[in-house]
Structure 1
Amino acid sequence: MFFVGIFIMSFAIGITVHAGLGTTTISSPPVVWTAATGLSLGWTTIIFNGFLILCQMIVLRSQFKPHMLIQIVWAFLFGFLCDFSLLLTTWAETDNYFVAWIWVIVATILMSIGVFIEVLPNITFIAGEGIVSALVTRFPKVEFGTMKQIVDWTFVSCAAILSWITMGALIGVREGTVFAAFFIGFFVRQWRKLYLRSIGH
């Protein structure tokens, strides 16, 4: 299930990159970095995920366990899947604003499904969800979906600032990114409620 989840997430990222209305929240810093440096999205994703693993170590301190370093492997896998998904989703390129919005909405729903599937076993995460889980551990009164929205907005804000500093314009961060920041966490909460209801909780 974990691998299915991260593939769905990478596929959603590929759709948003080609749609051109701004990418998903978790990929917004890597997309900006790619535009600024010329590195592939896969490699900027790997580097960004490494940074998020470091952030988890800082947040969790002694609660960060050695087995969590498996996220380094997932960072490389997720990065390579992002590059692969970009090749799979070239059909999403469009000059039609309305069609681009349809792809953004589809990708946002897919991303939320991918995140939900990935975190459902609660065994391991990629770093983007790992930092959310670490923050929930530190602040247990905040549910996962809500914390994800907070983290997503942080990613978007950092991406926007990085874009302005490096390129003097907003590249990779647009209205589609804002939509994703509002709704990925929202949809994750809905899938969780449906799942809990289905198992009688």
Structure 2
Amino acid sequence: ILILRRKFQPIQLLQIPLSFLFGYFTDFGMWAFSWASPELYPLRLVNICCGTIILGFGISFCVIANTVMNSGEAFVKAISDTTRKDFGTLKICFDVSCVCIALVLSLVFFDFTIQGTREGTLIAALCTGIVIKFFTPRLRQPLERFIGCHHARQEEFSA
């Protein structure tokens, strides 16, 4: 609201329940795939890379369709829309900033040790925006065509 001011749309308040839903599905996914946690380090790197690609792909769809997003991405989108800067680049800056804050807080609150942040977190922070920058221009035209076609059909049926 503070960033977008008059451009803020009340539908964006759906980010609040969406965050709870996202958290639930994240926990559910972690539980459902707990059996698939690889022990070998190279396989863990493959997991983080696959997860980052899937996440970036999904965020690209949300950015193009301009839908309600998780609050982290919506914050970046608000800054992107306001400053007219590239979403993917701002996403990298935001994610790296969050990792830096997490590292500082970990050092402060856990006796100068790093807890809960490792190379996978850094890989995801650096690469999610890159994946978004890759997919967004490639998906924009087909998705906008699909949304436009779908919207036209809805108008036909409601008329």
- With the length of structure 1 as denominator, give the TM-score of the two structures: 0.65
Once the 2 structures are TM-superposed, how far is the Cα of residue 135 of structure 1 from its aligned partner? 0.6
Structure number, greater radius of gyration: 2
Q: Is the 8 A contact 1:71 1:127 kept in 2?
A: yes
Whole-Å separation in 2 of the counterparts to 1:194 and 1:137 = 20
The amino acid that maps onto 1:145 is: G
Poorly superposed stretches of 4+, deviation over 4 Å:
197-200
Once the 2 structures are TM-superposed, how far is the Cα of residue 58 of structure 1 from its aligned partner? 2.8
Q: Which residue of 1 aligns with 2:131?
A: 187
* Identity rate, percent: 29
CA deviation vs aligned residue, 1:104-163 (integer Å, no higher than 9, x gap): 1111111111212233310321111110111112211x1111111111111111111122
Output the aligned Cα RMSD: 2.1
> Cα 1:96–1:89, aligned 2, differ >3 Å: closer, same or farther?
same
CA deviation vs aligned residue, 1:8-50 (integer Å, no higher than 9, x gap): xxxxxxxxxxxxxxxxxxxxxxxxxxxxxxxxxxxxxxxxxxx
Aligned residues: 144
Task: Select the structure with the greater relative contact order (CA < 8 A; seq sep ≥ 6).
Answer: 1
Secondary structure of 1:59's match? coil
Q: Which residue of 1 aligns with 2:86?
A: 143
Whole-Å separation in 1 of the counterparts to 2:26 and 2:142 = 32
The amino acid that maps onto 2:10 is: P
Aligned mate of 2:65, from 121, 132, 138: 121
Whole-Å separation in 2 of the counterparts to 1:169 and 1:125 = 33
Whole-Å separation in 2 of the counterparts to 1:133 and 1:118 = 10
Aligned mate of 1:159, from 90, 102, 109: 102
Whole-Å separation in 2 of the counterparts to 1:65 and 1:197 = 25
Whole-Å separation in 2 of the counterparts to 1:86 and 1:139 = 36
Q: Does residue 172 in structure 1 map to residue 121 in structure 2?
A: no
Whole-Å separation in 2 of the counterparts to 1:158 and 1:118 = 26
Once the 2 structures are TM-superposed, how far is the Cα of residue 175 of structure 1 from its aligned partner? 1.2
